[in-house]
Amino acid sequence: MRRAIQRQNGILKLLKKLGYNHPAYRQFKTETMAAGRKIHEANVNRVDELNATRLEAVLQSCKSTWFGMGYNQEEVALLEEAWAMTAVKDKETYKADKKKARELQREAAALMAARNNQ
């Protein structure tokens, strides 16, 4: 998009006539690279915020479902931790996180079963 605007304004045609080591060309490249990094960082931050809000909404929905199933606050905290491990996947620790999440889910189910059997 930015390159199309530069082409439309004739900037690229002027830069084409300059050499790669020309001071004006070098300055233009450093300025546009810095601007591009800022734009990219802003987009990354925006996407991260959107993902965080989406995950929070999903977690709240899961919590209401868990409370509806009969889990208490302590058990929901275990389930929440298990969900957090599986919601965001990390390549290096994926299998360990999955095992830990299953253990937490089993623990929460066992606590609920023990509470209901009393």
Strand, coil or helix: 37:
helix
pLDDT (average), residues 58-67: 95
pLDDT computed for residue 19 by the predictor: 86
pLDDT (average), residues 79-103: 93
Closest of 61, 62, 65, 54 to residue 82, by C-alpha: 62
pLDDT computed for residue 61 by the predictor: 95
pLDDT computed for residue 50 by the predictor: 97
Q: Rounded to an integer, what distance in angstroms lies between the CA atom of residue 108 and that of residue 82?
A: 10
Contacts of 108 (CB under 8 A, 6+ apart): 71, 75, 76, 78, 79, 82
pLDDT computed for residue 112 by the predictor: 92
Closest of 99, 67, 101 to residue 81, by C-alpha: 101
13-43 per-position pLDDT tens digit: 888 888 889 999 999 999 999 999 999 999 9
84-95 per-position pLDDT tens digit: 999 988 899 999
Contact in structure between 1 and 31 (CB atoms under 8 Å):
no
Residue 107, amino acid? E
